[in-house]
Amino acid sequence: MLGPNQYVPQCGTDRGPLIIWSLVVVGALSFVGLLVAAPLAQANGLQWFSFAVHEAFGHVCHQTPERSFYIAAYPLAVCARCTGLYLGFAAGVVFYPVIRSLKRTHAPERKWLFIAASPLAIDFAVGFLGIWENTGFSRFSTGAILGAATVFFVIPGLVHLSQNPRLFAGRPAEKRESQATYSPAIPEQVAPSQSDYSAPLRRI
Q: Is residue 204 part of a domain?
A: no
Q: Is residue 139 part of a domain?
A: yes
**What's the rounded Cα separation, in Å, for the pair 20 and 162?**
8
Q: Is residue 187 part of a domain?
A: no
Residues 20-34: what's their mean pLDDT?
A: 96
Q: Where are the alpha helices (DSSP H) in the chain?
A: 10-14, 16-43, 47-57, 80-99, 110-128, 136-162, 173-178
Q: Is residue 178 part of a domain?
A: no
Q: Is residue 51 part of a domain?
A: yes
173 Cβ contact list (under 8 Å, min separation 6): 3, 5, 6
pLDDT score for 204: 42
What pTM, to 2 d.p., does this model score?
0.73
Q: Is residue 158 part of a domain?
A: yes
**What's the rounded Cα separation, in Å, for the pair 72 and 165?**
50
Q: Which residue has the higher pLDDT, 7 or 55?
A: 55
Reference 35, options 86, 1, 103; nearest CA is: 86
Domain range for 119 is: 12-165
Q: Is residue 170 part of a domain?
A: no
pLDDT score for 10: 46
Q: What residues form DSSP beta bridges with 75?
A: 70
**What's the rounded Cα separation, in Å, for the pair 47 and 38?**
9
Q: Which residue has the higher pLDDT, 15 or 14?
A: 15
Q: Is residue 200 part of a domain?
A: no
Number of domains in the chain: 1
Reference 92, options 21, 161, 36, 162; nearest CA is: 21
Residues 148-175: what's their mean pLDDT?
A: 76
